A and B are shown apart, each in its own frame.
Chain A
Amino acid sequence: MSYTAEAFQNEYLALGASEVNAIVTVTSTGGEGGRRTGGATEIIIVDASGSMQAEGRIGAARQAAKTAVECIDDGVHFAIIAGVSTAQQLFPDPGRLAVASPQTRAAASQAIDRLQANGGTAMGAWLLLAAQLFTQRPGDIKHAILLTDGDNGERYGYLDSVLEQIKEQFVCDCRGVGANWKVAELRKIADKMLGTVDIVARPTELTAAFQQMITAAMGKTSADVQLKVWTPVNASIRFVKQVEPQVADLTGKRVEDGPRAGRYPLGSWGQESRDYHICVDVPAGGSGDEMLAARVHLMEGDTEHARALVRAVWTDDTALSTRINRQVAHYTGQAELADVIQAGLAAREAGDDRTATIKFGRAAQLAHASGNSATEELLSKVVEIEDAVTGTVRLRRKVAAEDEMALDTRSTKTVRVGRGQ
């Protein structure tokens, strides 16, 4: 794989300023024609709790799982877990992984037909079994899909302890079908497992959702990529966030690596491009001083793939220091957009309509100004947007639960800014 890393910033700071912001864009062109050079393992976890009988969910889940299996490339290891009160391996035999081939895919399809919805929901146990199966394949690109339709039924705190134990060991994309599951719960899993969370409102949409996730997973060519960030002495990192394709705060995932440097996990990579916002506080310099505020390395194990420099140059020329970098401004806005939507949803839930209206109003303004029409549309199902420019909105009296959950899960999705200063 060949990677590039590029920093976008206004490196000029006014005298006395100490906050340095930069957007680092990491792009990989995909090596070997975008093909994997190592192995890959895929595990599909399907909720088979009793509630899945409603609305033909279990039938749709079976169909989606079969489609997903069909999308698994030959030679990729895979397994299917039936999620009930305990984790049951549906295919292949317990404790084993199958190697994808026309025969194993057909056998898996038959096993999926036997999937019955009659149990509880125990996400911690399901994930733990997946983690155990993945340990057979060290070095593989590890991806799991978790499909559920309800709340976790395990004792309080168990899921958290499991996540703490298995975090970042594999990438897990979580999907909730219907409207009876908790966004916060799946978001917690996706965050710890460096995956995504989304709602599949209607069971009929499951097949497309699974297909999309598997296709994306099959396109990954590197298992474990990290961002290593060095900062000078007396500097502190305020945050490291992924800001595109969606907002994900990586600040707390730092693992120290040598003097003044730490690593942030990015999960698996294919042929793609992602943007990161890095914010560092540094001791202010004098006029004309130039400081390296952060050196950002893209690492895969001990191999450095790319490097970008985040600089700070102090100047008394206000024409330089007041220049606004478009990338930084745009993604600062996108992160704020995600935050105000969360705040708006929380206020609405708490019955604080006034705060909710203010927050959603700001969200409408930000979404409109940044051209994030997808978020603006989701927002318009929860509030009536009277004037997006001024952020004038009215709360809708009746909001479908699915619409609210879609806004919640997708509020972190960002749009990319056009390049150029």
Chain B
Amino acid sequence: MTLMTDCASCEDELASGATFCEVCGRRLAEPPVPEAAPATARKDCARCGAAGSVGDDGYCEECGMMAGRSRDHLEADGGTAGAAVSDRGRRHHRNEDAMWLAVGEDAADVVVCDGVSASFDPDAASDIAVRAAGELLAGARHPDVLPGADGPDETVDREQLERPPGAVGLAGAVAHAITGAAAAVASLAHTGDPRRAAANPACTIVAAAVRGPHVGYGWVGDSRVYWLGPEGPAEQLTEDDSWATHVIALGADPVSAMNDPKAHAITAWLGADAGPVRPRVRSFTATEPGHLLLCSDGLWNYLVDPAEFGDLVRECLTAANSLLGAARAMVAYANAAGGADNITVAVIPVRPAVTEPEPETTDLDTTNA
């Protein structure tokens, strides 16, 4: 269950336990689609309309306009186990958010990162961060599975064995993943473009590991995790590392603090200039069914009111017949509201532990609500 598998379609390495390739989104069981067209068949330019004019580097050979980047709109469909959508939004020229979604049976790893625009190559920071964290999360075991019980071909990792059981163990795995992502982002400052050294690539991170009813999550920066129960307002599980949160904690008026130009200034991030990163991690075990929602500020900035947030998510989940559809609808909502920033949303359903029904009490099940 925790062995690495390669995606047959795009040959990118896949997180353990995932049934979908994180990169191309294809279900692993499906045979790869044969190359539809040879490389010589070029795309038409959406801007000037010139036929077959988009060159290998993505720019139109006629008008020079960027024909679109692969990261402008990304979707990851984990069926009923989770879905995530990342979108450029309407105002930014590229998508500096990145996401990771790996789902398995009763399990999901999800990471959302938001590049810090003031840094150089923030898109590279978020990209390397989600990959590093996602690959480390792949080692987070199902807390309900006893070590070594998976089968003879399983290699046993000592670190995994020593980890405390249950949701607390998952929180440890998330902390480990975020620390690994921090190191990966910090390493970017001295590679590639020399301007990275002066304004090192940086990003936020929020990550969650779901194993059955157990949830471990952690964050650095202002990307958030929400919990959505069957009803009521969305519950924000994270506390932003931001100026606004800081002053609100000191007693400032929340509305005026959020409207301050400094509101979004983050006080912690991943990057070479971040110093030692201490991710804040938490865990819980679900006792009622609900949805875990991870998002960048491109979404939550338009949903300051938790009640409104809760209603929107439930509305999206009801209207769409899939988790992916719901994630798309939330992205569409943010774009309709202005799309001032990149938008990334991931939705993971979490179910409480099913109590094994005792054979003689089966008839009493209906009364156990």
Contacts and interface: CB of A to CB of B under 8 A. Distances in A.
Contact of B64 (A235, A287, A420): A235
A384 B92 CA distance: 52
A233 B64 CA distance: 7
Given A419-B194, A420-B195, A421-B198, A232 B62 contact: yes
Contacts of B48: 233
B269 interface: no
A60 to B, nearest CB: 45
B64 A288 contact: no
A31 to B, nearest CB: 24
Contacts of A259: 61
B309 to A, nearest CB: 27
A314 B64 CA distance: 13
Contacts of A285: 65
Which of A282, A285, A288 counts the most B-chain CB atoms under 10 A from its CB? Answer: A288
B72 to A, nearest CB: 10
Given A315-B93, A421-B120, A291 B195 contact: no
Contact of A420 (B59, B60, B197): B197
Nearest to A310: B64
A368 B42 CA distance: 52
B198 A289 contact: no
A233 B91 contact: no
B351 interface: no
A299 to B, nearest CB: 17
B90 interface: yes
Nearest to B48: A233
Interface in A285-320: 285, 287-293, 295, 309, 313-316, 319
Contacts of B62: 232-233
A271 interface: no
Interface string A254-279: 00000100000000000000000000
A292 B91 contact: no
Given A309-B57, A316-B91, A421-B120, A290 B194 contact: no
A291 B65 contact: yes
Contact of B90 (A288, A295, A313): A288
Interface residues of B, number: 23
A292 B57 contact: yes
Contacts of B94: 290
Interface in B136-175: none
Interface residues of A, number: 27
Contact of B93 (A6, A282, A290, A293): A290
Nearest to B193: A6
A231 interface: yes
B286 interface: no
B248 to A, nearest CB: 25
Interface in B29-68: 48, 57, 59-66
B199 interface: yes
Contacts of B63: 232-234, 291
Which of B63, B94, B118, B198 counts the most A-chain CB atoms under 10 A from its CB? Answer: B63
Interface string A315-336: 1100100000000000000000
B62 to A, nearest CB: 5
A175 B197 CA distance: 42
Interface in B192-242: 193-195, 197-199
Contacts of A291: 59, 63-66
Contacts of B199: 421
Contacts of A419: 194
A420 B90 contact: no
Contact of B65 (A6, A290, A309, A319): A290
Contacts of B193: 6
A231 B65 CA distance: 11
Given A232-B60, A233-B63, A290-B66, A421 B93 contact: no
A198 B198 CA distance: 38
Contacts of B61: 259
A292 B120 contact: no
Contacts of A295: 57, 59
B57 A289 contact: no
B91 A287 contact: yes
Nearest to B65: A291
B91 A420 contact: no
Which of A8, A285, A315 counts the most B-chain CB atoms under 10 A from its CB? Answer: A285
Contact of B198 (A233, A234, A319, A420): A420
A315 B57 CA distance: 22
Contacts of A315: 93
Contacts of A319: 118
A420 B90 CA distance: 31
A282 B62 CA distance: 12
A420 B65 CA distance: 28
B200 to A, nearest CB: 11
Contacts of B92: 288
Nearest to A309: B57
A289 B88 CA distance: 12
B64 A232 contact: yes
Interface string B63-78: 1111000000000000
B68 to A, nearest CB: 10
Contacts of A287: 91
Nearest to B50: A233
A62 B210 CA distance: 86
B66 A292 contact: yes
Contacts of A234: 63
A420 B194 contact: yes
A287 B93 CA distance: 8
A290 to B, nearest CB: 4
Contacts of A233: 48, 62-64
Pairs A-B, 8 closest by C-beta atoms: A232-B64, A292-B59, A290-B66, A421-B195, A292-B64, A420-B198, A421-B198, A291-B64
6 contacts: A235-B64, A288-B91, A288-B93, A290-B65, A292-B66, A421-B198
Interface of B: 48, 57, 59-66, 90-94, 118, 120, 193-195, 197-199
Given A232-B64, A289-B66, A291-B59, 4 more contacts: A291-B63, A291-B64, A292-B64, A421-B120
